[in-house]
């Protein structure tokens, strides 16, 4: 009998989600880990410090490579279905800012490497990203025209630290800290 790959879903606080996932999205918090057999032994995640593979819940649900068991897909889908996504202004600005001057071509491809630099608001990739998660979202022509400091890192006007948007905390944070608290009090502010 050949040992099989063992998968587990783990909430790790880092997740495997894309940086464009909205606040509250499970991909920001969960990871699907794969443990491959060694010889004929069935892998035991409790005895291994590192997984052999990792992927997001979204990826496990899509199962593009056909290796995720249905039970794991169902568990991932249950977590996804229970999620409370947040359509925050900071997140919307981040999505529009990332896709500054990027529109889906006539083919409708959302692949940014196929993007064109002009088009109708309904084909703006920032709008399409937000609409993917929030179906009632209407194009924000103000952000299409000028997303301002919606994406990237900028100095906090209070403390001077460079900060950027973090969907996990839904706040501006010093890079890789997930701490939205400003040393000068309150939260970081990049002005407009």
**Cα–Cα distance between 106 and 34 in angstroms, integer?**
39
pLDDT band at 1 (very low <50, low <70, confident <90, very high): very low
Average confidence (pLDDT) over 152-156: 95
* 45 backbone φψ class: left, alpha, beta (φ>0; ψ -120 to 50): alpha
Residue 126 has pLDDT above 70, yes or no: yes
Prediction pTM value: 0.88
φ, ψ (nearest 5 deg) of residue 141 = -65, -30
Task: Determine how many CB atoms are found less than 10 A away from the CB of residue 144.
Answer: 19
φ, ψ (nearest 5 deg) of residue 136 = -90, 5
Q: How many angstroms separate the Cα of 37 from the Cα of each of 42, 43, 52, 147?
A: 5, 5, 10, 49
């Amino acid at each position: 009998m050949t040992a099989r790959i063992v998968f587990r879903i783990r909430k790790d606080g880092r997740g495997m989600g894309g940086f464009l996932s909205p606040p509250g999205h499970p991909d920001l918090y969960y990871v699907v880990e794969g443990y491959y057999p060694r010889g004929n032994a069935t892998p035991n995640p409790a005895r291994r410090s590192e997984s052999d593979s990792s992927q997001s819940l979204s990826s496990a649900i899509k199962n593009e490579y056909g290796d995720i068991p249905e039970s794991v897909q169902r568990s991932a889908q249950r977590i996804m279905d229970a999620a409370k996504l947040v359509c925050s202004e900071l997140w919307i600005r981040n999505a529009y800012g990332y896709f500054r001057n990027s529109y889906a071509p006539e083919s409708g491809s959302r692949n940014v490497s196929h993007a064109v630099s002009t088009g109708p608001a309904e084909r703006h990739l920032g709008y399409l990203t937000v609409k993917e998660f929030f179906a009632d979202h209407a194009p924000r022509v103000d952000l299409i025209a000028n997303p301002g400091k919606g994406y990237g890192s900028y100095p906090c006007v209070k403390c001077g630290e460079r900060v950027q948007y973090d969907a996990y905390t839904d706040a501006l944070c010093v890079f890789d800290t997930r701490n939205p608290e400003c040393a000068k009090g309150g939260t970081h502010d990049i002005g407009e």
